[in-house]
């Protein structure tokens, strides 16, 4: 008898009349134990990879993005004040800084979202659904590290209520919930998610000094006892320091402007300002390998989106109307959230196309529209959020015409016989 004993948990099962209690119980039970249903006849196969386990594997594929993203938060902060500028200097301070900034974002995103899920589960009398596992893991990764927590909470409420529950809950949403949360902040509070400020945390911009909270300085006693460097309140920022992202430099001066501030190695490893999960292309590639190896994400969507970006980038290179257009097409994968969107956002099975031909069309146009918005929009240096939300809306239409064309082809073939 123990925590992982099925009989032990079955004895604890509350009455189904107690909707909320049974929903919580069912969520925990199905999290601990995989389904043992196997179909021995018919064409539909049942196995251990249920929806909850599939979602968990997606979350696991993001973990390196979390680790490097947290470290980069601290790294960018210390670059801003000119201390411990070496990549592996004061590792403890950078990790502590990153974790103290990332954990509240993660807690708020999940507490608010799951709170809404719990409420609707109780109202409808069904078990707690698994869909928010991935959404709750994605939202912190697509936010700037300095996002105000109240603003994050409002965006999650808006996205989950209007983007998901209004359509019936998990599996019924039309658009990606994590991107809808980011879009809400982008349109409602544009200054908090753009410009140079949101990417560098724990700084008092008005006074030009480092601004630590007690969550940072509470570690100083431990660090000092070990003879390690500590957080020093009030350290001045480097004069004229900019927290601008590679996209901002590219928009203003092309690839040459980017390389004046960041090397290709920094862009690949993740030592640049940006949303928490998008900076490290290495971490994202590891996630892509995991998703493809487990057969969770669609390689067709990933490949077609990459083709869409490449062909559109080549077209811009040939046109070369402005500095942003002159950025070599392959370098667009190193900047911003292109690779993250390709791996974790465009491949959402609920909001993407479900037919194979539809996936090729869907992914290609995300790549096309995303790069067009990134390069051509004078007010916004990125485009994947808007491109994916746009194609989410058109995904059912694409599938409809793909299926309709297939039916017409089969009918013609049948009549010919």
pLDDT digits (tens, 9 = 90+) for 110-169: 999 988 888 887 777 666 666 688 899 999 999 999 999 999 999 999 999 998 888 777
Same domain, 111 and 255: no
pLDDT at 217: 87
Same domain, 122 and 58: yes
Mean pLDDT of all residues in 370-384: 89
Mean pLDDT of all residues in 406-417: 83
pLDDT at 44: 43
Poorest-pLDDT segment among 63-72, 145-154, 241-250, 392-401: 241-250
Poorest-pLDDT segment among 41-50, 276-285, 339-348, 395-404: 41-50
Mean pLDDT of all residues in 38-43: 47
Among candidate residues 170, 194, 218, the one where a domain is terminated: 194
Same domain, 265 and 372: yes
Among candidate residues 194, 226, 261, the one where a domain is terminated: 194
Same domain, 166 and 283: no
pLDDT at 224: 92
Q: In this structure, is residue 411 part of a structural domain?
A: yes
Does 228 have pLDDT greater than 50?
yes
Q: In this structure, is residue 199 part of a structural domain?
A: no
Domain count, the chain: 2
Helix axes 149-163, 177-188, angle to 10 degrees: 130
Model pTM? 0.87
Q: What is the mean pLDDT of the chain?
A: 86
Same domain, 252 and 384: yes
Same domain, 257 and 316: yes
pLDDT at 100: 93
Among candidate residues 158, 178, 194, the one where a domain is terminated: 194
Domain that holds residue 102: 16-36+48-194
pLDDT at 74: 94
Structure confidence at residue 9 as a pLDDT band (50, 70, 90): low
Provide the percentage of residues in the chain whose pLDDT is more than 90: 59
pLDDT at 130: 66
Does 1 have pLDDT greater than 60?
no
Q: In this structure, is residue 298 part of a structural domain?
A: yes
Same domain, 190 and 248: no
Q: Which residue has the higher pLDDT, 49 or 395?
A: 395
Structure confidence at residue 225 as a pLDDT band (50, 70, 90): very high
Provide the percentage of residues in the chain whose pLDDT is more than 70: 85
Same domain, 20 and 169: yes
Residue range 291-311, pLDDT digits in tens? 999 988 999 999 999 999 999
Q: In this structure, is residue 347 part of a structural domain?
A: yes
Residue range 160-212, pLDDT digits in tens? 999 888 877 777 789 999 999 999 999 998 877 777 778 888 888 778 888 89
Q: In this structure, is residue 215 part of a structural domain?
A: no
Structure confidence at residue 27 as a pLDDT band (50, 70, 90): low
Does 43 have pLDDT greater than 50?
no
Q: In this structure, is residue 184 part of a structural domain?
A: yes
pLDDT at 46: 45
Same domain, 181 and 252: no
Same domain, 250 and 373: yes
Structure confidence at residue 36 as a pLDDT band (50, 70, 90): low
Q: In this structure, is residue 230 part of a structural domain?
A: no
pLDDT at 316: 95
Poorest-pLDDT segment among 193-202, 220-229, 313-322, 392-401: 193-202
Same domain, 417 and 300: yes
Q: In this structure, is residue 117 part of a structural domain?
A: yes
Same domain, 262 and 336: yes
């Amino acid at each position: 008898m123990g925590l992982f004993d099925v009989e032990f948990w079955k004895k604890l099962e509350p009455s189904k009349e107690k909707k909320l209690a049974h929903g919580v119980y069912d969520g925990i039970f199905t999290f601990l134990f995989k389904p043992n249903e196997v179909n021995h006849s018919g064409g539909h196969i049942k196995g251990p990879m249920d929806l909850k386990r599939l979602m968990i594997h997606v979350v696991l594929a993001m973990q390196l993005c979390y680790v490097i993203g947290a470290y980069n938060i601290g790294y960018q902060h210390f670059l801003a004040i000119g201390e411990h500028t070496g990549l592996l200097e004061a590792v403890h301070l950078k990790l502590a800084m990153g974790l103290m900034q990332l954990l509240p974002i993660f807690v708020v995103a999940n507490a608010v979202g799951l709170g809404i899920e719990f409420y609707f589960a109780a109202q409808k009398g069904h078990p707690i659904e698994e869909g928010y596992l991935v959404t709750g893991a994605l939202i912190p990764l697509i936010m700037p590290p300095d996002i105000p927590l109240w603003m994050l909470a409002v965006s999650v409420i808006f996205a989950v209520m209007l983007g998901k529950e209004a359509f019936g809950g998990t599996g019924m949403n039309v658009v990606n919930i994590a991107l809808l949360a980011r879009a809400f902040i982008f349109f409602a509070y544009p200054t908090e998610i753009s410009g140079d400020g949101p990417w560098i945390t724990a700084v008092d911009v008005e006074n030009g000094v480092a601004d630590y909270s007690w969550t940072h300085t509470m570690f100083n006693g431990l660090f000092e006892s070990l003879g390690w460097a500590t957080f020093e309140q009030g350290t001045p920022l480097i004069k004229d320091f900019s927290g601008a992202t590679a996209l901002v430099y590219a928009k203003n001066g092309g690839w040459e402007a980017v390389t004046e501030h960041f090397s290709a190695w920094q862009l690949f490893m993740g030592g640049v300002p940006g949303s928490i999960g998008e900076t490290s292309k290495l971490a994202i590639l590891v996630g892509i390998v995991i998703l493809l190896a487990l057969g969770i994400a669609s390689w067709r969507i990933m490949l077609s989106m990459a083709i869409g970006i490449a062909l559109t980038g080549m077209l811009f290179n040939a046109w070369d109307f402005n500095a942003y257009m002159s950025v070599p097409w392959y370098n667009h994968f190193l900047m911003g959230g292109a690779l993250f969107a390709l791996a974790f956002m465009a491949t959402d099975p609920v909001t993407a196309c479900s037919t194979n031909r539809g996936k090729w069309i869907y992914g290609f146009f995300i790549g096309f529209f995303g790069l067009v918005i990134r390069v051509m929009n004078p007010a916004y240096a990125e485009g994947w959020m808007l491109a994916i939300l746009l194609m989410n809306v058109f995904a059912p239409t694409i599938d409809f015409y793909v299926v309709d064309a297939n039916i017409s082809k089969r009918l013609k073939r049948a009549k010919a016989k």
